Amino acid sequence: MTPPPIRVLVVDDHVLLRQGIAGILAPEPDIELVAEAADGAEAVEAFARMRPDVTLMDLQMPVLPGIEAIQRIRSGAPQARIIVLTTYPGDVQAVKALKAGASGYLLKSSLIDELLRAIRAVHGGRRYIPADVAQEIALHAAEEPLSAREVDILALVAAGKANKVVAHELSVSEQTVKAHLRTIFQKLGVNDRTQAVTTALRRGIITL
> Tens digits of per-residue pLDDT, 54-95?
999 998 888 899 999 999 999 999 999 999 998 877 778 888
Neighbours of 189 (CB within 10 A): 11
The answer to whether residue 139 scores a pLDDT higher than 80 is: no
- Chain-centre distance for alpha carbon 192: 26
The answer to whether residue 142 scores a pLDDT higher than 80 is: no
Contact 157, 193 (CB under 8 A): yes
CA distance 75 to 137: 25
More confident residue, 115 or 90: 115
Q: Nearest to residue 146, comparing CAs of 157, 132, 135?
A: 157
Mapped onto helix, strand or coil, the DSSP state of residue 12 is coil
The answer to whether residue 6 scores a pLDDT higher than 80 is: yes
The answer to whether residue 208 scores a pLDDT higher than 80 is: no
Q: Nearest to residue 4, comparing CAs of 55, 52, 48?
A: 52
| 3-class SS letters over 30-55 | CEEEEEEECCHHHHHHHHHHHCCCEE
CA distance 96 to 207: 14
Q: Nearest to residue 38, comparing CAs of 69, 7, 1, 77?
A: 69
Please, is 76 exposed, middle or buried when counting C-beta atoms within 10 Å of its C-beta (0-12, 13-18, 19+)? Answer: exposed
The answer to whether residue 133 scores a pLDDT higher than 80 is: yes
Residues of the chain above pLDDT 70, percent = 100
Contact 22, 10 (CB under 8 A): yes
pLDDT at residue 84, rounded to an integer: 94
Q: How confident is the model at residue 3 (pLDDT cuts 50, 70, 90)?
A: confident
Please, is 3 exposed, middle or buried when counting C-beta atoms within 10 Å of its C-beta (0-12, 13-18, 19+)? Answer: exposed
CA distance 105 to 99: 12
Per-residue pLDDT tens for 117-132?
A: 999 999 999 999 988 8
Arithmetic mean of pLDDT, 104-129: 93
The answer to whether residue 206 scores a pLDDT higher than 90 is: no
Contact 100, 73 (CB under 8 A): no
CA distance 73 to 206: 24
The answer to whether residue 19 scores a pLDDT higher than 90 is: yes
Per-residue pLDDT tens for 21-40?
A: 999 999 999 999 999 999 99
